[in-house]
Chains A and B, each alone.
Chain A
Amino acid sequence: MPDLGRLALAIALMLAIYSIGANVFGARRARPEFVASARHAIWAMCAMVTIAVVALWTGLLSSDFSLEYVASYSSTTLPTAYKFTALWGGQQGSLLLWTWLLTIFTSAAAFQNRRRNPALAPYAMAVLAGVAIFFLGMLNFVTRPFDLMAVIPAQGTDLNPLLQNYWMAIHPPSLYTGYVSATVPFAFGAAALITGKLDDGWIRSTRRWAIFSWFFLTLGNLFGARWAYEVLGWGGYWAWDPVENAAFMPWLVMTAYLHSVMIQERKDMLKVWNLALVGLAFGLTLFGTFITRSGVISSVHSFTQSGLGPYFLSFLITVAVAYTGLLIFRAKELRSPAEFESYLSREAAFLFNNLILIGIAFAVFWGTIFPVLSEAVRGVKITVGPPFFNRVAGPLALGLIFLMGVGPLIAWRRTTASNLVKSFAAPAIVGVTTGVVALAAGLRAWYVLTAFSLAAFVLGTIAVEFRRGVGARRHMLAEPAPTALVNLIAKNNRRYGGYIIHVGVIVAFVGIIGSSFFKTEVKKSVRVGQSFSIGAYQLRYLGLSEHDTSHMETATARLEVSRGGREVAELAPAKLFYKREQQPATRVAIRSTPVADLYVVLAGLDDDGNQATFEVFLTPLVFWLWAGGLLMAIGTVVVMWPNVRERAAIAAAVARAAPSALEGEPAPGGE
């Protein structure tokens, strides 16, 4: 099997090289048979990488310790599910997964464009194959997944215990899917620059890819946060660690991109900006891998540091220089005839939303690389921690939330005063009322008051939109309200799916505010039978039970949780001890309610187990962070749902030979 995997990767590399040549030659000389052959090469490349992945999985599942990778990241006692996920437990496997996803997405894009985009697609495929060459080159020559052990050990080192977890099983594939699928819009953007077909055809062809990428970046970030929350036992979910930032920055840029392309589709503006954003998003995915693998920036994440950094940096610089060069080369053709006409227009709101999103991304970038910069300039490493990111991102987030309320309701081009009053009077009242109620309830922090008011304002604007749409259908088509609501969303899925995502963002934002500002913590050492309290909860330590398997030892503390004298739950936080690694780990116990999470960590035990020390967090509203994330996911699915009208629009855009002029003037608030 290892030989097969190695061979498959070598063939895949050759196929990638061939497909670049055949694509470019076929497109330049108008020889469709070469483009078709290149497409088949891409599918064959995907099949080869699939064989390599199956080979590595076979090695992991059969505990073939002659493979260095299997010996390093698996063991015979590792539960089968984690032998499966060990594929991305180490560096070589992670890169193999990355490459696999890349070839799958390239194949899908090749299939999608087999009959359309004859001018653009061959170059986009060539760019995608070029990216694949880099990764396949790494797998063939630099960090090989099928290297053999000199001496075959009887037992493997095992997967890092922190990775032996459900969320860790799904977090990396989600994030990688998001990262890698961002390559497709980038490739089409690059193809537009290469060919000079600079109308919005490349955007329309890859709109669904961009949303797909955004969807998985969102999930990847949320799963990572959830993993940190459930596994690391520090009571939080986000620490602004460089590795988290590396996943967050592409998300911010993709969010900006998804909004700004609407201006180009509508107004034929911001062409350079959009092309720059897809380039930036792709560059940041490489940058993220560079900083996590190079060790240039220290992170608490237990990633293997290796000699991979320089390769990624070289590739990143090559891509950045080539892409910027193309942008400059096409600068004249990218000038837009249209201009911004008024601050009170949707395009202005979108533009400012873009500035803020990119501003946050830049601040995160700056804070992440600051130690490196300060060492280079001043000779001493200076770091900025979570306070820096919170101080910058906090106020900017408020601006973003405000624009989220304004943007969708004001008209393109310009809005009249009476229109403003009509749209925003009710939401503004809702927002102000929320602020006043919060103030009366005893909240004093200006940030929290502003955040809650703005959140209510945005929810108000979205409610106004839904009400307007449902009302119109009821009035014109005499549909009952529930039917009207369903049809409204189904017929305008892109717009109303977007609103559902916005609601999700607001709900998640409220969860973040609640958990950041109102978290309380108690540390207590108690003997069996003793109680202590946090908030309205009483916790009584009932005793310890121990459990022993060949894989790990578990010491579980039982706690009775009561509230107002009534027992509401029994929690069982535990200390684990992984035998293979000789390493302890923590299993957190959480009682989650919409009001607050009770989060219990077994922090310490004395030798006989009669006395235990607990660290307990009471985190208000954190439930809503995950609920908001779920809503964002649902909204994105609605947005991605195939829509007949949009298919027609894509076909029209593709069919248009000349660059598109302004589209018909849409109604205010039109899709």
Chain B
Amino acid sequence: MRFRLRFVIGTALIVGAIVYLITTAIRNTSEYYLTVDEVGARQSELAGEPLRVAGRVRPGSIAWDPNTLTLKFAIVPIPDPNAGGAVKPVAATDPVAYAVTCAGEPKPDMFADGRDVIVEGKLDSSGHIIATQVLTSCPSKYKPAQAK
């Protein structure tokens, strides 16, 4: 019976260590995951914080320099799919939400006008997003017609 208690303690120690690892790692590595609209609402508190922003590439805003691997574009909010039609095009005249600059990374293959992207990086004081990485998500044409 005494040994059983020791065993419970040993098990508790391991479980405790795992919980400790998870909580400290969450505290030290988490970053905001926001939509373009949410960035707008919280801009003041976000400057300098690591974040991920989900948005859509504004058509006509892409500037790509293959020699310096510098990609500049603007992201705008993704229209609400429930507000009608899953694939609502973003017009070139939409208000610019955020300018993004990503230097030193190749342009992702799926990156194009009107595609949905996730930008990882930081917001600088002037409201530019300095990105370390641009991820493209599923291009809309692979989405099903509409879930019934």
Say whether B93 faces chain A, with CB atoms less than 8 Å apart.
Answer: no
Q: Is the CB of A525 within 8 A of B22?
A: no
- Chain A residues, Cβ within 8 Å of B4: 339-340
Query: 1/0 contact trace for A91-124 toward B, CB 8 Å?
Result: 1000000000000000000000000000000000
Bound CA span A339–B2, Å? 12
Query: With a CB–CB cut-off of 8 A, which chain B residues contact A157?
Result: 141-142
Closest CB in chain A relative to B5 CB, distance in Å = 11
Which of B21, B106, B142 touches A160 (beta carbons < 8 Å)?
Answer: B142
In the complex, A300→B68 CA distance in Å? Answer: 25
B52 within 8 A of A: yes
Closest CB in chain A relative to B57 CB, distance in Å: 14
Asked whether, in the complex, the Cβ of B141 is within 8 Å of the Cβ of A523, the reply is no
Q: Are the CB atoms of B31 and A382 closer together than 8 Å?
A: yes
Assess whether B26 is in contact with A585, with CB atoms less than 8 Å apart.
no
Partner of B144, one of A306, A343, A352, A525: A306
Query: Which of A300, A342, A388, A525 is B3 in contact with, Cβ under 8 Å?
Result: A342
Inter-subunit contact B21/A395 (CB<8 Å): yes
Once the chains bind, are A355 and B14 in contact (CB under 8 Å)? yes
Q: Are B107 and A604 in contact (CB under 8 A)?
A: yes
Query: Is A603 a contact of B135 with CB atoms below 8 Å?
Result: no
**Would you call A641 an interface residue if the criterion is a C-beta within 8 Å of the partner chain's C-beta atoms?**
no
Check: B119 CB closer than 8 A to any chain A CB.
Answer: no
Query: At the interface, yes or no: B147 with Cβ under 8 Å from chain A?
Result: yes
Task: Name B65's closest neighbour in chain A (CB-CB).
Answer: A604
Q: Which of B54, B106, B112 contacts A601 (CB 8 A)?
A: B106
Pairwise interchain contact A355-B11, C-beta atoms closer than 8 A: yes
Which of chain A's residues 573-600 have a Cβ closer than 8 Å to chain B? Answer: 581, 583-586
Q: Are B11 and A381 in contact (CB under 8 A)?
A: no
* Contact A341-B109, Cβ < 8 Å, known A523-B104, A606-B66: no
Mark B15-41 against chain A: 1 for CB-CB distance below 8 A, else 0. 100100110111011111110001000
CA–CA, A639 and B144, complex, Å:
43
Across-interface contacts of B136 in A (CB, < 8 A): 300
Q: Which residues of A contact B48 (CB under 8 A)?
A: none
Decide yes or no whether A645 CB sits under 8 A from chain B.
Answer: no
- Check B147 against A307 for contact (C-beta < 8 Å): yes
Are A384 and B25 closer than 8 Å at their CB atoms?
A: yes
A370 interfacial by beta-carbon distance below 8 Å = yes
B126 within 8 A of A: no
Interface bin, chain B: 35 or more
Which residues in chain A, 358-399, are within 8 Å of chain B measured between CB atoms?
359, 362-363, 366-367, 370-371, 374, 380-385, 387-388, 391-392, 395-396
A300 to B33, CA, bound (A): 14
The total number of A-B Cβ pairs within 8 Å is 153
Check B31–A385 contact: CB distance below 8 A: yes
Cα A371 to Cα B35 in complex, Å, equals 13
**B28, B30, B69, B135 interface centre (most CB from chain A within 10 Å):** B30
In the complex the two chains form, what is the Cα distance from A270 to B30 in whole Å? 36
B82 at the interface (CB under 8 A from A): no
Asked if B66 and A605 sit within 8 Å, CB to CB, the answer is yes
Contact B14–A392 (Cβ < 8 Å): no
A416 contacts B by Cβ under 8 Å: no
Contacts of A523 in B (CB 8 A): 69, 104
Cα A387 to Cα B38 with chains together (Å): 24
CB <8 Å contact, B118 and A300: yes
CB distance from B56 to the nearest CB of A (A): 14
Is there contact, CB below 8 Å, between B18 and A363?
Answer: yes
Would A392 and B30 be within 8 Å (CB), given that A304-B143, A604-B107, A613-B66 are in contact? no
Q: Do A603 and B7 touch (CB < 8 A)?
A: no
| Cα distance, A298 to B148, chains bound together (Å) | 21
The CA-CA distance from A585 to B54 in the complex, in Å, is 22
Query: Is A415 an interface residue, CB under 8 A from the partner?
Result: no
Within 8 A of A (CB), among B64-97: 64, 66-69
A233 CB contacts on chain B under 8 angstroms? 106, 109
Q: Chain B residue with minimal CB distance to A581?
A: B141
Give Cα A380–Cα B45 distance, bound, in whole angstroms: 13
Contacts of B25 in A (CB 8 A): 363, 384, 387-388, 391-392
| In the assembled complex, B137 has its CB within 8 A of some CB on chain A | yes
- Given A359-B15, A384-B29, A604-B107, the answer on whether A298 and B118 have CB atoms closer than 8 Å is yes
Q: List which A293-345 residues lie within 8 A (CB) of chain B.
A: 298-308, 339-343
10 new A-B contacts at CB < 8 Å, known A341-B3, A371-B33 = A305-B143, A343-B7, A356-B14, A356-B18, A359-B14, A388-B25, A391-B28, A603-B69, A611-B67, A615-B106
Q: List 19 interface pairs A-B (beta carbons < 8 Å), by A numbering.
A: A142-B148, A157-B141, A302-B110, A302-B138, A304-B142, A352-B14, A355-B11, A359-B14, A359-B15, A381-B33, A383-B52, A384-B26, A583-B139, A603-B69, A604-B64, A604-B69, A606-B67, A613-B67, A615-B106
Residues on B lying within 8 angstroms of A by beta carbon are: 3-4, 6-7, 10-11, 14-15, 18, 21-22, 24-26, 28-34, 38, 52, 54, 64, 66-69, 104, 106-107, 109-110, 112, 118, 120, 135-139, 141-145, 147-148
